[in-house]
Structure 1
Amino acid sequence: MATYSPAVRAGTSLFTSSLLIGILLIAANLRAPITSLGPVLEQVQQHFALSAAAAGLLNALPLLMFASASPLAPWLTRRLGLEQALFGALCLIAAGCLIRSSGTLTGLWAGTLLIGAGIATANVLVVPLVKRDFPAQAALCVGLYAATMALMAALASGVSAPLSALTGYTWKLSLGVWFALALVAILCWLPHLRQARSGASAVAPPPPKSVWGSAIAWQVSMFMALQTVTFYTLIDWYPAMAASVGIGASESGAHLFAYQAVAVLANLSTAVAIKRLQDQRLLGLICSLAIVVGMAGLLWAPSLALVWLVFAGVGAGMSMVTCLTLFGLRVRDHHQASALSAMAQCVGYGLGAAGPFLAGWLHSVYGSWQVSLWMLLAAACLQIFFAVMAGSRRFIE
């Protein structure tokens, strides 16, 4: 049996801790540049005289990029390696934050595209990295990763408007400040980039068999898609839904913060629970039922909206961690994990981006949010089926 000196063990432990910190810093950059836009979107719209349709497209563009760019991430991994591809993704996010806040219309759109492309790539590749380097602690790492994303998303939403009031740079400061966070992540990732280069093989691995024909892959992807529809529709439209039943803007903002804060707690508790269960069917059922209760409550008892958002937030947090963990649990190696992650996020964010659009369109047609909430309730009920199927212990062959 091999033995290691204390110095070797300490060095390995230090490198592993540094890698986990690097992963969490990547996670911190995967939602904050997006959620920081919403609170200052009206300022951006006025500055550039954007139409309502153009402003809506600007808000939806990152999600559309997630769907369209995700399938390219496994190809990048085979060409460059996981570490190099993630480093490139961070560089795209950093450049996008700077360009988007330049104050030009071209910069606004180009920067948003770069941010979306960078986040799409990192979204896909973090889970394969965790499966490769933290196989025994994958669920816990994914839980910390998801919790960091959710926490930074909520923080960015909360500080964006106050930051815009600090200086004459207004919204440019609110959107550009996230360049600093991306730069910190880039600097932290450099040692791992050098390590990957020093141990790189000259022969690229063969591409894994396509997962698009796998029933399990489609079940995981539909689970991802349906929970994404509900989450992003509520994030985009809940304030308007709340206003229609007499809930003020400040109160609805507090409700949304509670929704996201509860999701963070659910991220961490689900990561612990996954390790104790034989499979993920029970978790899939519980998280989906929590969303069903939340949507039904908003539909039939909107005066208790905070209670229903807590249910929905628990379901959203559990769903996200369960989905991300399934990317690693339903495959044999990290190459397959990359392929499944790409497919699930392509399908998930592609359909997820349609949720806010359909909800707004249904409201414009019927003049009420009731039909939109029925749509979300139907999506949550359908999620029960796909979550339970995806949670059964099987592998993509």
Structure 2
Amino acid sequence: MSVISDKTSLAKNPFFSLTLVGVLLIATNLRAPITALGPVIHEIAASFNLSGSAMGLLNALPLLIFALASPFAPVLTRRIGLEKALLMALVLIAVGCLARSLSGLTGLWSGTFMTGLGIAIANVLVVPLVKRDFPDHTARCVGLYAATMALTAAFSSGISAPLSGFSTTTWKLSLGVWVIPAAIALAVWMKVCARANQQPATTEKPHIQGTKSVWRSAVAWQVSMFMALHTLVFYTLIDWYPSMASEHGVSSTAAGFHLFIYQAVAVVANLSTAAFIARLKDQRLLGLICSLFISAGIAGLLVMPELSILWLVLAGTGAGMSMVTCLTLFGLRAREHNQAGQLSGKAQCIGYLIGSTGPYLAGILHGHTHSWHSTLATMLLISLAQACFAWQAGKNRFV
């Protein structure tokens, strides 16, 4: 497919409208299958007699896969193209969702692996595709994409525990239901691929100023660490908040609703941030503010857990702002879509490699201390470190 630069409206070309719908449908599958796990993790552990360490590893496995697979996604793109690579990702997610709910303990682990691998590929490739196909609307499209991820993630957390009690299949229904949005996205993306194949090819190669590898770029490392620390705190809270809340007499259903609020607030933050982020001279102040919102929320959970809804609203605002800022920086700090893909792959590799340690280490730390205070205090320090990297990543430079 040739690169079309004169897109003054998303609606003028039907192909690009279909592509945007496809991108948003992909987004519905990139967080919900993971956030559905936290509210029912204890039911799964009881079903298979899993230890605390095994539960932590199950929570951390998708993030580990994100980290290990992300650098290879741009290579896959060069082999088969962006559209086909994203189609492959959706197939993996759909098969993985089925396997982990229908095939016992082996299916639980293998299905989690396949789902994580599919999400890892799509995570990296959506932003370069948006930068290529919607160059005049990148920030707005990324905002819609991030908001869709956050909305479905919130919905997943909110319904996971109630679905578990809805039938005799318990947690299997909570995890298996996410094959439905994967199948819908797959059907639409097959049409996107078919239309892409009908477009004339081009031999024109984009011109890139500078040849420095993203792995040797200080800017790329700053963006990566911004994402890493945000990811660590976000997924630790998503995976373990129900357990934290249970120490204060909160039921799993109520905790799931709290997580829904946490992530629903992030949707509003996604959209509002996307509306003005590209107009800023740089993103330093924005990165600082979103990090401090997270810090305030974690500090509140630590010292006044009885007001957890309030603190989750603050942390959710910061999380939503951080997510869309990180994703947009992949495009803003790159000169064209191939370089954006490389930055996205590197940032998500580092981000999820470090971020995946959060749920796992939190489980181990809690097992030793039998309290969540140490975990929350550590998360608070990490969120303050995030503010430092966010300030540096927000400077208006290229990798």
TM-score by length of 1: 0.91
Matches within 5 A, 1:109-188: 109-188=109-188
Residue 255, structure 1, aligned to residue 258, structure 2: yes
C-alpha distance in structure 1 between counterparts of 2:204 and 2:190, whole Å:
22
1:201-231 CA-to-partner distances (Å, cap 9, x unmatched) read 4979799753110000000000001111111
1:24 positional shift:
0.3
3-state SS in 1 of match to 2:136: helix
C-alpha distance in structure 2 between counterparts of 1:36 and 1:255, whole Å:
13
Residues 380/182 of structure 1: CA separation in 2 closer, same or farther (3 Å cut) = same
Residue number in structure 2 paired with 1:352: 355
C-alpha distance in structure 2 between counterparts of 1:96 and 1:310, whole Å:
32
Residue number in structure 1 paired with 2:271: 268
Residue number in structure 2 paired with 1:372: 375
Residue number in structure 1 paired with 2:40: 40
Residues 204/350 of structure 1: CA separation in 2 closer, same or farther (3 Å cut) = farther
Residue 30, structure 1, aligned to residue 33, structure 2: no
Equivalent position amino acid for 2:334 in 1: V
Contact 1:79 1:204 in 2 (8 A): no
1:32 positional shift:
1.6
C-alpha distance in structure 2 between counterparts of 1:217 and 1:163, whole Å:
41
Contact 1:64 1:353 in 2 (8 A): yes
1:37-70 CA-to-partner distances (Å, cap 9, x unmatched) read 3333333333333333323322221111111111
Equivalent position amino acid for 1:211 in 2: V
- Quote the RMSD (CA, aligned, Å): 2.4
C-alpha distance in structure 2 between counterparts of 1:97 and 1:252, whole Å:
23
C-alpha distance in structure 1 between counterparts of 2:250 and 2:215, whole Å:
44
C-alpha distance in structure 2 between counterparts of 1:175 and 1:296, whole Å:
32
Contact 2:335 2:398 in 1 (8 A): yes
1:356-396 CA-to-partner distances (Å, cap 9, x unmatched) read 22333333333432222221111111111110110110011
Residue 73, structure 1, aligned to residue 73, structure 2: yes
Residue number in structure 2 paired with 1:21: 21
The total of aligned residue pairs comes to 388
Residues 55/378 of structure 1: CA separation in 2 closer, same or farther (3 Å cut) = closer
Residue number in structure 1 paired with 2:307: 304
3-state SS in 1 of match to 2:54: helix
C-alpha distance in structure 2 between counterparts of 1:229 and 1:112, whole Å:
19
Residue number in structure 2 paired with 1:194: 194
3-state SS in 1 of match to 2:356: helix
3-state SS in 2 of match to 1:212: helix
Equivalent position amino acid for 2:84 in 1: Q
Residues 28/202 of structure 1: CA separation in 2 closer, same or farther (3 Å cut) = same
C-alpha distance in structure 2 between counterparts of 1:58 and 1:160, whole Å:
17
1:287-344 CA-to-partner distances (Å, cap 9, x unmatched) read 0111121122222333322222211111000000000000000001111111110111
C-alpha distance in structure 1 between counterparts of 2:50 and 2:304, whole Å:
36
Residue number in structure 1 paired with 2:342: 339
Matches within 5 A, 1:319-334: 319-334=322-337
Equivalent position amino acid for 2:32 in 1: A
C-alpha distance in structure 1 between counterparts of 2:174 and 2:311, whole Å:
31
- Segments of structure 1 that go 5 or more residues without pairing to the other structure are 1-8
C-alpha distance in structure 1 between counterparts of 2:100 and 2:200, whole Å:
35
C-alpha distance in structure 1 between counterparts of 2:113 and 2:256, whole Å:
27
C-alpha distance in structure 2 between counterparts of 1:252 and 1:160, whole Å:
11
Segment of structure 1 superposing worse, 219-228 or 178-187: 178-187
C-alpha distance in structure 2 between counterparts of 1:102 and 1:302, whole Å:
37
Contact 1:262 1:314 in 2 (8 A): yes
Contact 1:262 1:310 in 2 (8 A): yes
C-alpha distance in structure 2 between counterparts of 1:305 and 1:168, whole Å:
32
| Percent identity of paired positions between Structure 1 and Structure 2 | 61
Give runs of ≥4 in structure 1 deviating > 4 Å.
9-12, 200-209, 245-251
1:179 positional shift:
1.7
Contact 1:281 1:392 in 2 (8 A): yes
Residue 363, structure 1, aligned to residue 359, structure 2: no
3-state SS in 2 of match to 1:136: coil
Contact 2:142 2:274 in 1 (8 A): yes
Segment of structure 1 superposing worse, 371-380 or 233-242: 233-242
C-alpha distance in structure 1 between counterparts of 2:212 and 2:135, whole Å:
22
Residue number in structure 2 paired with 1:387: 390
TM-score by length of 2: 0.90
C-alpha distance in structure 1 between counterparts of 2:144 and 2:107, whole Å:
33
Residue number in structure 1 paired with 2:92: 92
1:200 positional shift:
6.4
Equivalent position amino acid for 2:275 in 1: V
C-alpha distance in structure 2 between counterparts of 1:11 and 1:379, whole Å:
42
Residues 142/304 of structure 1: CA separation in 2 closer, same or farther (3 Å cut) = same
1:143-167 CA-to-partner distances (Å, cap 9, x unmatched) read 1111111111121222233333444
1:70-124 CA-to-partner distances (Å, cap 9, x unmatched) read 1110100111111110011011111112222223332222211111100000000
